[in-house]
Amino acid sequence: MDFQLSTASFFVLLLTLLYILNILKKRNKSTTNFPPGPRSLPLIGNLHMLNFKKPQLTFLELAKEYGSVFTFHMGMKKMVVLTGYETVRDALVNNAEEFGERAQVKIFQSMDKGMGLLFSHGENWKTMRRFTISTLRDFGMGKSTIEEKITDECVYMTNEIADFKGKPFDNNMILNAAVANIIVSILLGHRMDYNDPQFRRLLSLVNENVRLAGTPMVSLYNIFPFLGLFPGSHRTILNNVMEQCEFITKTFVEHLKNLDENDQRSFIDAFLVRQKEEAGNPQSYFHNGNLTRVVRNLFSAGMETTSTTLRWGLLLMIKYPKIQEKVQEEISRVLGSAQPMYSHRGQMPFTNAVIHEIQRFSDIVPLNLAHETTKDVAYKGYFLPKGTYIIPLLSSVLRDQTHFEKPEDFYPSHFLDADGNFQKKEAFMPFSAGRRACAGETLAKMELFIFFTTLLQKFTFCLPPGVTDVDLSSVVGITHAPKQQMMCAFPRF
């Protein structure tokens, strides 16, 4: 007991000293001309105000009081929240260089150690992003070759659903596997069977990490890294990442055995070829650490957000059956039983509008991935020093009432003009914007249209017998995902 008390006292004293040092540091323009925000408390900052399960709700409320640029203290760390379409776009696009760095977040630093694509920095990030985008294009992103992979995968996906013969099922694993197989075919050069135990294990690791990374315990670990000394969800995440990296390492070792520089079959092959070309360069970024992290990043990001959007889409079609019927009417009129292709979206304004509204309403990454200023910035009358932690709040963009008539409702007419033609919206920004925008945006758009349209072409979705309403509440996680729910799929022909 005495040891426990003394340990606790030590940590309280340590945190107090750190707080005092923090408030004494740099009393200059960087502190006197910072954006306004709620008054912070010692040690915890504004954490007492935060909705840990849905922090975006806290920030949306604070924006009403403090404006589109305000300060929020996460413990002893100050961060600046940007809200509304005009402000977020101005920062990420018009001031892309100044706001283009990825923030230093403890759990992501522990996961990838500054390597890879999503959470890397500086030249490492620039090099990996250039290589990733060019290689994804080489392997068909945005081209007919990747469209063929998606349409082929639709057959496996719809057959899997048809096997339930109208009985209740959970679509989570099926949609995860279908979407994941598109990026897997690029990364590895082949698809994986839905029942492959290794494949299912990899999918479950991604799902678990996405959920745990948004839990209050991990949020506290990010704010107070000393909590890493104790058991918790952060350790589960790191163990899961280690398991993913071990699988990837085994995979690229196998690829190395059969590597043919003149016949590159996958993303991994292309990376390994580049690695051999730069073998004599000690400063090369094409090392095994980056390979495992880039592949892990692409697998996770390439599967989770798109499959989660599709899950929301099916729930919303069940919630609003008249919208589902109207989509199916358009599919029947334009396509009949022909395989949907991405080029068909121009002939299908209502379906296209529904898919866009699903993305807007579901708000998959509400907080965005945090940014950081690359230099001292004078912005909107405030001074933001280099290294300021920035949250460009995507929720505030996708629900900006100056751009969307009914921001809190599921309303496909947001993307239709008075004549029923599809219309773009400037504030439609689910993939973020600027230098750190989603590298797979083109692929994701193609996947969403083809998978969603195929699903509604083949099936009508409804609740299981005895269930009276769709639950549109979400689970805690780094992404905004629906609760797992059973549904029924009845063949249309």
Strand partners of residue 383: 378
Query: Within its chain, how far is the Cα of 329 from the centroid?
Result: 32
What SS3 state is found at 462? strand
pLDDT of residue 3: 40
pLDDT of residue 302: 84
Q: What's the pTM value of the predicted model, to 2 decimals?
A: 0.91
Closest by CA to 475, choosing from 231, 172, 224, is 172
Q: What's the DSSP call for residue 41?
A: B
d(CA 330, CA 327): 5
Phi and psi for 286 in degrees, rounded to 5? Answer: -90, 70
Cβ contact 324:141 at 8 Å: no
pLDDT given for residue 264 in this prediction: 87
Could you give the dihedral angle defined by the CA atoms of residues 383, 388, 393 and 396, in that order, rounded to the nearest 10 degrees? -10
Q: Which two tokens stand for residue 137?
A: 């294009």
Task: Tell me, rounded to whole angstroms, the distance of Cα 17 from its chain centroid.
Answer: 36
Helix (H, G, I), strand (E, B) or coil at 67: coil
Q: What is the pLDDT of residue 5?
A: 42
Phi/psi at 282 (nearest 5 deg)? Answer: -65, -15
Strand partners, 487: 169
Structure-token match 């909590």, residue found? 227
| Amino acid 29: pLDDT | 42
Q: How many Cα atoms sit within 13 Å of 220 on the Cβ side?
A: 17
- pLDDT of 12: 56
- Residue appearing with tokens 């940007």: 82
Q: What is the pLDDT along the chain (493 residues), one digit of tens a residue?
A: 444 445 555 665 666 566 555 554 544 444 568 999 999 999 899 999 999 999 999 999 999 999 999 999 999 899 999 999 999 999 999 999 999 999 999 999 999 999 999 999 999 999 999 999 999 988 887 778 899 999 999 999 999 999 999 999 999 999 999 999 999 999 988 999 999 999 999 999 999 999 999 998 999 999 999 888 889 999 999 999 999 999 988 888 788 778 888 888 899 999 999 999 998 898 999 999 999 999 999 999 889 999 999 999 999 999 999 999 999 999 999 999 999 999 999 999 999 999 999 999 999 999 999 999 999 999 999 999 999 999 999 999 999 999 999 999 999 999 999 999 999 999 999 999 999 999 889 999 999 999 999 999 999 999 999 999 999 999 989 999 999 999 999 999 8
Would you tell me how many other CB atoms lie within 10 Å of the CB of residue 163?
Answer: 10
pLDDT reported for residue 280:
85
For residue 26, the model assigns a pLDDT of 44
How many angstroms separate the CA atoms of 360 and 404, rounded?
10
